[in-house]
Copies of this chain bind each other. A is one copy, B any other.
Amino acid sequence: MNINHMLNEVLVKLFRNINIIEERAICSGEYKDVTANDMHVIEAIDMEGARNMTSVARSLGVTTGTLTISVNSLVKKGYVERVRSEEDRRVVLISLSEKGRKAYLHHQRFHEQMIEAIVTELSMEEQVVLEKALVKLDQFFHSSF
Contact = CB atoms under 8 A, between A and B. Distances in A.
B3 A131 contact: yes
A137 interface: yes
Interface in A1-50: 3-4, 6-8, 10-22, 24-25, 28, 40, 43
Contacts of A121: 136
22 contacts: A3-B127, A3-B128, A3-B131, A6-B131, A7-B127, A8-B111, A8-B115, A10-B131, A10-B135, A10-B137, A11-B134, A12-B43, A13-B138, A15-B19, A17-B61, A18-B18, A25-B145, A117-B136, A117-B139, A117-B140, A122-B129, A125-B129
Contact of A24 (B13, B122, B138, B145): B145
